[in-house]
Amino acid sequence: MRVLEHPTPEEIRLEAVLHAFADPMRLEVVRFLAEAGREVSCSEIDLAVSKSTGTHHYRVLREAGVINQVYRGTAKLNSLRHEVLNAIFPGLLDSVIAATARQRPPAPSPSQRRGE
Given the rule CB under 8 A, which residues bind a copy of itself?
13-15, 18-19, 21-24, 27, 88-92, 94-96, 98-100, 102-103
Of 54 and 76, CB closest to a copy of itself: 54
Q: Using the rule CB under 7 A, which residue among 55, 90, 104, 106 binds DNA?
A: 55
Which region among 36-44, 85-93, 96-104, 106-114 touches DNA (by CB under 7 A)? 36-44
C-alpha to C-alpha distance for 98 and 31, rounded to whole angstroms:
9
Residues forming the site for DNA (CB under 7 A): 1-2, 19, 22-23, 25, 41-43, 49-60, 69, 71, 73-76
